[in-house]
Amino acid sequence: MRALIPLVHPEPRSFNAHLAAQAAQQMRHDGLPVQMINLHANGFDPLEAPHHPPRRPRPDRFDAQREQRHSAEQGQLPIDVQRHLHLLQTTDLLILQFPLWWFAAPAILKGWLDRVLVYGPVYNSRQRHEHGVMRGKRALLSVTTGASARACAVDGREGDTRLLLWPLMYSLRYIGFEVMEPHLVHAVRSGPAPERAQAHDAALAAATDDYRKRLAHWRQWPIVPFNDSEDVEDGVALRAEATAYSPFIRHRDAG
């Protein structure tokens, strides 16, 4: 069993960095080997682009999927992608640690998915969803927000954070992961006013302690439900009798 923790934050002293380090410590305490990678510190290039493949099948037109599959089959994936892909393929627990910026994950994380979830080795037309390459493995989004829990609730002004994270969770399920319910820490602010600093730090310390306790039993962590292939008619639309687990995939008469 192995764990992989990609950290997505440009400040090495951030609370996100602290949470990633605490998660790694807890995993190691429980005897689970951990690899933590700092995408910003490593200078990971998030842009999938024509200059990455050393030998392109069609130099006149860039097709990301075709280029990725060709490079993988030829053993010529870019060095950084090779390394991250190997870490992903050999992990049993993936923990993505990042802040919510502009109601989504930071751009470098999206770019990491674009480049490391390589067409061919990670997914193809026959290996997706419950039949995905990563089946039997688990993934967790550990996310911080600047707004309060109330503002990030289903009726909050900031919008339902869990719903905002659904596309990312679905991407992980698409390649086969069992996706754990997101771990959310709200009201994470840098440089609080002096009169609020102590309470702010105490709240974050409590949140960190709770996170470590939950990670100690990560195998019992709740799993996000998704529709499997048997719920989909002709591979494209939700069956009338199937349960809808998200507003993103719902019955037409549900509005």
Q: What is the pLDDT of residues 48-93, one digit of tens each?
A: 999 988 888 888 899 999 999 999 999 999 999 999 999 999 999 9
Strand, helix or coil at 73? helix
Q: Buried b / exposed e across 2-31, counting CB within 10 Å, b at 16+?
A: ebbbbbbbeeeebbbbbbbbbbbebbeeee
Question: How high is the pLDDT of residue 29?
Answer: 95
Write down the pLDDT at residue 113: 97
pLDDT of residue 53: 86
Low-confidence ranges of the chain (pLDDT < 50): 195
Residue ranges and CATH numbers for the domains of the chain are: 3-224 (3.40.50.360)
Residue by residue, DSSP assigns 107-155 as HHHHHHHHHHS-BTTTB-SSS-GGGSTTTT-EEEEEEE-SS-TTTTSTT
The pLDDT value recorded for residue 155 is 95
CA distance 136 to 80: 25
Q: What is the pLDDT of residue 13?
A: 87
Quick check: helix, strand or coil at residue 213? helix
pLDDT of residue 87: 96
